[in-house]
Chains A and B, each alone.
Chain A
Amino acid sequence: DGGITQSPKYLFRKEGQNVTLSCEQNLNHDAMYWYRQDPGQGLRLIYYSQIVNDFQKGDIAEGYSVSREKKESFPLTVTSAQKNPTAFYLCASTPDRGNQPQHFGDGTRLSIL
C-alpha cells in the first residue's frame, strides 16, 4: 500500500551498532506493528502499538526498541543486544482496534557487515 513507507530499503549494521528503521503511514491508522521475517519462519511480531505513546512487546521483542510519539510514525531500533539481526523487517498498520486487515509497507532488509 502506498500509504505505508518504510526506509531505508536496505540497511547494513556493524557489530555493536544500533540502527533505526523508519515506518511512516498517512492512512490515519491507529495501530502499527513491526514484524521480522526469516526464511521458512513466516512473520513474527516484534512490537505493536495501538495508540500514540503506548506500545506492547510482541513475541520476539528482545534486542529491539520502539517509540510512538506520533500517530503516523513507529520507528524500530535494532540494538546491539540483538545478536542475529539479519532479516527482512516489515511494518504494518490497521485502522482501529477491531479486526481489520493489516496493511504492510515494502520492508527493510537488514544485513550485518
Chain B
Amino acid sequence: GENVEQHPSTLSVQEGDSAVIKCTYSDSASNYFPWYKQELGKRPQLIIDIRSNVGEKKDQRIAVTLNKTAKHFSLHITETQPEDSAVYFCAASNGFGNEKLTFGTGTRLTIIP
C-alpha cells in the first residue's frame, strides 16, 4: 500500500518568512495530492491540492510543487502570518477506483511574531 512520509514534524518560522513542508510517497500510481490545515481541536480543511499532470500550483501565499520522478511534493507558504500557525497534513491517493487518502504524520507550524 501507499506510504507517505512528512518532514519536519515541527517547524517554527519568523513572521514574514517562508515555510516549506516536504512529503514523499511510495506508490508511483498516486495521482492526487491534497494538503490540509488543522487548527487545534478543529476539522482538517483543504488548503490546496495538485494532480499528477501538473508540477506546480499556486493560490496566493500558498504553493505546492510535485516531482513525480522523485515521488515527492512540497507545500510552500510565503509571507507567513500568525494565523498560519496550525498542523499541516499532506496526503496521496491513486484514484483508480480507490480514493483512499494516505496521510502524512503532520507538521506543527508555529509562526513567531
Contact = CB atoms under 8 A, between A and B. Distances in A.
B21 to A, nearest CB: 13
Interface in B52-103: 89, 91, 93, 95, 97, 99-103
Interface residues of B, number: 26
A40 B107 CA distance: 9
Contacts of B93: 99
A97 interface: yes
A90 to B, nearest CB: 7
A106 B105 contact: no
B32 A99 contact: yes
A104 B51 CA distance: 20
A42 B45 contact: no
A43 B99 contact: no
Chain A: interface secondary structure?
A: loop
Contact of A40 (B43, B46, B95, B105): B105
Contacts of A106: 42-43
A40 B34 contact: no
**Which 7 pairs across A and B sit closest by C-beta, in order of nearness?**
A99-B32, A99-B95, A104-B43, A42-B103, A42-B105, A43-B103, A101-B46
Given A42-B106, A99-B31, A102-B34, 16 more contacts: A31-B99, A35-B103, A42-B89, A42-B103, A42-B105, A43-B44, A43-B101, A90-B44, A94-B99, A97-B99, A98-B99, A102-B46, A102-B101, A105-B43, A107-B42, A107-B43
8 contacts: A43-B103, A98-B99, A99-B95, A102-B101, A104-B45, A106-B42, A106-B43, A107-B43
